[in-house]
Structure 1
Amino acid sequence: MTVISPTDPQTDYTWQWRGFAINYRQWGTQGAPILLVHGFGASVGHWRKNLPVLGEHYRCYAIDLLGFGKSAKPQPKLEADYTFDTWAAQVQAFCAEVIGEPAFLIGNSIGCVVVMQAAVSYPDWVKGIVALNFSLRLFHERNLSRAPFYQRWGVPLFQKMLTQTPLGSLFFKQLAQPKTVRNVLGQAYADKSAITDELVEMILAPAKDPGAAAVFLAFTSYSQGPLPDDLLPQLTCPTAVAWGTADPWEPITLGRALVEQYPQIEFQSFENVGHCPQDEAPDLVNDYLLDWLSRQQSPGG
């Protein structure tokens, strides 16, 4: 088991997985292990307001998924498949090789689907999960089959244009601009004051890496794989779902309705908070996570 004496919650460490360099951070040297998994286009930095707080009580880690942040960005299909099965295998290997034991997994957005897939595929390595605004994957092919005609036709066409024509590279270059990133974050965050220069740079920096555009385009065309609808009923570990009520991308009404089918899963809402509550409202999220984790550690929890 790797134990690091932390000196800075923003220090980056490197772990080799399948021949690829994987970036992670750690804070805390005692207590149960926790692994934080970011959403699409984000990185370990999206947990910078949570890592040191949770690390006061737990051994807390944050990891860059393959293809994101400072982790390697191998060529899609030829060198790596950017799927939830791949990322779930990465999470399990990190628990085994770096943490050294099963961990609690906490995810945001697509990171929630990653931790759910890890819990389903590798249940012995997951002590419990918390999903913050999980991605409903509304552009998944099964969801599109029930969507209006213009979406059933238009989304696959747009995906093909991005991945099979020069439009994809132009689209990525336009997206990877400070003004565009601020506009996108302005949709995702209800509290605009949380959109800082530090946050914008954190999103932009990995986009400059070789291979970043190819990874982005590969995932935007990934309309297969599991839906939360598939994974939730298979979860056997303690599970909680928390949601910002002001999320414009993943409506809380849809998330709540899905989770309500499983009374063993706890549901928590954060009022007037957007898609990334761990960064926008870290005090609310940290308090909730510490309470939930404490209850799992207590007798009968």
Structure 2
Amino acid sequence: MEANHQAPETSSTDVESVLYNNEMDGTTVGWLGSWCRWKPTSENHLIKAETKMLEFVKCQLHKMFVSLPSGNKIWTLVANRGVKNKTPLVMVHGFAGGVGLWALNYEALSKKRSLYAFDLLGFGRSSRPTFDTDPQVAEETFVQSIEEWREAVNIDKMILLGHSFGGYLVSCYAMKYPERVKSLILADPWGFPKPDPDSERARRIPLWVRAIVRVLSPFNPLSVVRAAGPWGPNLIKRFRADFKQRYPEVTAKDENTVFEYIYHCNAGNPSGEAAFKEMNENLGYAYRPMLTRISAMNKEVPVTFVYGARSWMDISSGHQTQNLLPDNHVEVYSVKGAGHHVYADRPDLFREIVTAVCDATDTDD
């Protein structure tokens, strides 16, 4: 759903959108052209970066754009197509991510079943529309795009896995369309707890971080990366150096591969990023916290939480969900040695848990 209200003046998001779209179709001229050249990104840059991320994946990946009734397109990867006797697994990435970040998991998780992964609307190679600034409407737009994608690829029921922001969105989807979800897997999900300035999570946030958040609150989360122009990739490399250790196979050939992919996923039009910002409040809490709503989950939908033991996400949200859903089967796992990106920090244990959930889902039929 696109915004239909008129703003009194152009926002920074609107300016970034215009610049990005003009750069893509080659019509940017004058100072606009200079500004776009200042940001060294393009659709081709992103395609090349994603290709490098997926080079070492051994299973065959079918790649396609899935068209939605809205006219938007969702970039989709499929492994082990055509399996009919197993429930397909659908994976949804988190904020600032894309299908390339699942690189360590495609082969193992698609051995018995079809596996789908897609770039969320507004992220990666998917369409980047203008979202409504109302957080509930933005959330509904994400959820509706997932449902339209499901219809377009002709999946009846699925095992739905989401990481971080993706975990929040698939939870929203499962509550609205429970008949389509055979099992819900939440990897270090964002957006569950209610804002609590006195919580242990809030106390762990340094004062200097709080100060920066206040200063940057009027802007999109990754505006500084785009504003840095040709130095943007180096900012990603400097502040997210941990990703090099997560993808040793990918970085063995070129240590910049992961950083380039993350940069080009986020250096363009901040469409989904702007929507995510509107859905946030109070240092990263959700405007509509999931714990205030998840009791409405259909009791037939089993839920599995997979947290990294070293993550800044609070595992207590998983345990609270167990209490809020007494009639559902709810499991909570803590993966030793893993942080927020549990699927890449300990891919072996992550895949073991996900595979067990998937096998149990089909056994229960």
TM-score by length of 1: 0.79
AA aligned opposite 2:320: L
Equivalent residue number for residue 336 of structure 2: 271
**8 Å Cα contact 2:162-2:170 kept in structure 1:** yes
Structure 1 residue 109: deviation in Å?
Answer: 0.2
TM-superposition CA deviations, 1:231-265 (whole Å, max 9, x none):
43222201111111011x3133x334433424531
Of 167-176 and 192-201, more deviation after overlay is shown by 167-176
Matched, 1:14 2:71: no
Structure 1 residue 118: deviation in Å?
Answer: 0.6
Equivalent residue number for residue 219 of structure 2: 162
Structure 1 residue 273: deviation in Å?
Answer: 0.3
Equivalent residue number for residue 259 of structure 2: 200
Q: Count how many residue pairs are aligned between Structure 1 and Structure 2.
A: 280
Structure 1 residue 15: deviation in Å?
Answer: 0.7
Matching of residues 1-301 of structure 1 within 5 Å: 9-17=60-68, 18-28=70-80, 29-30=82-83, 31-77=86-132, 83-136=138-191, 143=195, 157-158=214-215, 160-162=217-219, 169-170=223-224, 172-174=226-228, 177-186=232-241, 192-194=245-247, 196=251, 197-209=256-268, 211-212=269-270, 214-223=271-280, 225-236=287-298, 237-247=301-311, 249-252=312-315, 254-261=316-323, 262=325, 264-299=329-364
Equivalent-residue separation in structure 2 for 1:203 and 1:116 (angstroms): 25
Equivalent-residue separation in structure 2 for 1:221 and 1:250 (angstroms): 20
| Secondary structure at the counterpart of residue 162 of structure 1 | coil
Equivalent-residue separation in structure 2 for 1:232 and 1:9 (angstroms): 37
1:88/1:193 CA distance change after superposition, 3 Å: closer
Structure 1 residue 62: deviation in Å?
Answer: 0.2
Indicate the RMSD between aligned Cα atoms, in angstroms.
Answer: 3.3
Structure 1 residue 280: deviation in Å?
Answer: 2.3
| Secondary structure at the counterpart of residue 89 of structure 2 | strand
**8 Å Cα contact 2:226-2:232 kept in structure 1:** no
AA aligned opposite 2:77: R
Equivalent-residue separation in structure 2 for 1:161 and 1:144 (angstroms): 22
1:15/1:274 CA distance change after superposition, 3 Å: same
**8 Å Cα contact 1:82-1:219 kept in structure 2:** no
Q: Indicate the structure (1 or 2) with the bigger Cα radius of gyration.
A: 2
TM-superposition CA deviations, 1:98-135 (whole Å, max 9, x none):
03311110010010111111110111111111000011
TM-score by length of 2: 0.67
Which ranges in structure 1 are unaligned for 5 or more consecutive residues?
A: 1-6
1:208/1:162 CA distance change after superposition, 3 Å: closer
**8 Å Cα contact 1:103-1:126 kept in structure 2:** yes
Equivalent residue number for residue 45 of structure 2: none
**8 Å Cα contact 2:187-2:306 kept in structure 1:** yes
1:55/1:65 CA distance change after superposition, 3 Å: same
1:12/1:157 CA distance change after superposition, 3 Å: same
1:217/1:61 CA distance change after superposition, 3 Å: same
Structure 1 residue 169: deviation in Å?
Answer: 4.3
1:119/1:137 CA distance change after superposition, 3 Å: closer
1:145/1:86 CA distance change after superposition, 3 Å: farther
Equivalent-residue separation in structure 2 for 1:49 and 1:115 (angstroms): 21
Equivalent-residue separation in structure 1 for 2:191 and 2:136 (angstroms): 21
Equivalent-residue separation in structure 2 for 1:173 and 1:8 (angstroms): 38
